[in-house]
Amino acid sequence: MTLPYGRDDDSAAYHYINAALRGRDAEAWRLLAADSHVEQTDRVLRAMLDRIAVARTHRTAERATARARAAAGEITQAEYQRDAAEDATKASKTAHFETLLREHHRQIAQAARRLRGDDVRDELTDLVLALGAAVDAHRSAVLAAGYEPTPADEALWARLGELDVPDTDEGRTSVEDLVRRHAERQDDLGRVLAGIILDVAGAATSVPRSALLTEWKKTVAPTLAPEQKTEFAAKGKGSLATERLRKTMGHLERKGLVKRSPDGQRLDLLDRAGLADVADGRE
């Protein structure tokens, strides 16, 4: 048995997948996850999730407009409540369908990633980034101390700009630029987290990680693009916002500003003044 459409016919794939989601046909999903079609299936499922996200944003805007009209007396409260109830029913059905869609997409996305070699690529990129960051830190330390770099130092530093790696946004980018962008992102998130830590801690010397996570999600999660969240979830690593918090905590730890408790459930403040400097962008 084969799928009744070609690998370039996403329109037909959409209709087939939509029926498979509602019918829960195990054989259909076996075919959809086959190497010959899994990347197309992944692409179509992502598009379906994107449409749901766009529709949700549009619906939220419509409800805000309706509330304003009701408050201004342009429509009656009864009309507003009736429309709100209908919208809630539609939203509930959409949420159920989205849950089902995401369950299937996690499996499909993992199969597509394996086929493309994405996990291996990500591991290698992380390794290159770690090595590049170490070289950059070495360069900064030598220059900050006023030492005369050796020819070996200069040759090592030059490689940062000469080596390039695949980049999803720009095709290819130098390792040096990759390190710079990573450092800027870490600094930006570090400023956000430092402010949250100080606000949550008050006069206390430590804060529960759960309290930080709650405030972090309120601040950072809305800034993450839906496709970023979907891509990360497809890797089976949980929440992207939570992962960003973990890495940003490590960033502040390396600066000597905070320290995680042995069980990882609390964060001790080691340098309150230093956290304030980071939060205010002075460091």
> In this predicted model, what pLDDT tens digit does every residue of 20-54 receive, in sequence order?
998 878 899 999 999 999 999 999 998 998 898 88
How far is the first Cα of the chain from the last one, in angstroms, to the nearest whole number? Answer: 62
Q: At what angle do helices 175-201 and 272-279 cross, to 10 degrees?
A: 120
Q: Specify the pLDDT at position 133.
A: 85
Residue 99 predicted with pLDDT over 80 = yes
What's the confidence (pLDDT) of residue 102?
87
Helix (H, G, I), strand (E, B) or coil at 260: strand
| Percentage of residues of the chain with pLDDT beyond 90 | 37
Residue 236: pLDDT band by 50, 70, 90 thresholds? low
Taking all residues of the chain, what is their mean pLDDT, rounded to a whole number?
87
> What global pTM score does this model have?
0.58
174, with CB counted inside 10 A (0-12, 13-18, 19+), is: middle
Q: 197 CB contacts (<8 Å, ≥6 apart)?
A: 207, 212, 252, 258, 267, 269, 275
DSSP SS3 for 269 = strand
Is the confidence at residue 4, as pLDDT, over 70? yes
Distance CA 64, CA 118 (A): 41
Q: Which CATH class is domain 167-279?
A: mainly alpha
Lookup: tokens for 92: 């509930």
pLDDT greater than 70 at residue 171? no
* Mean pLDDT to the nearest integer, 220-248: 79
